Amino acid sequence: MAGKPGAASFLRIGNWRVTFIAASIGLLIVLAMLMKWIVELQVEAARERRLSEAVAREAVAHCHEKTPLQAVRDCLGELAAGTPSTGR
């Protein structure tokens, strides 16, 4: 009978360790999935930003095609008034 309490305490310690390892592995999987989602979100945001910047550059280039300097200034002023400032 003296051996049984020691064996029972060993099983409890072993179960605690297995539970801890399983929880750690589960947490690592969740963190990896979260990191993947964040990276995909950042890549998509960068792609959208590049697209909007390309559209803005194209609009400015179209303004610079105008002949008189005042027409270029008016076109750029319209573009500035139509787009919100980014704070840069």
pLDDT at 65: 81
46 within 8 A of 27, measured Cβ to Cβ: no
HSE-CB for 69 with a 13 A CA cutoff: 0
pLDDT tens across 32-88, in order?
999 999 999 999 999 999 999 999 889 888 888 877 888 888 888 888 888 544 433
- pTM recorded for the entire structure: 0.55
Separation of alpha carbons 34 and 67, rounded Å? 53
pLDDT tens across 9-27, in order?
555 666 888 889 999 999 9
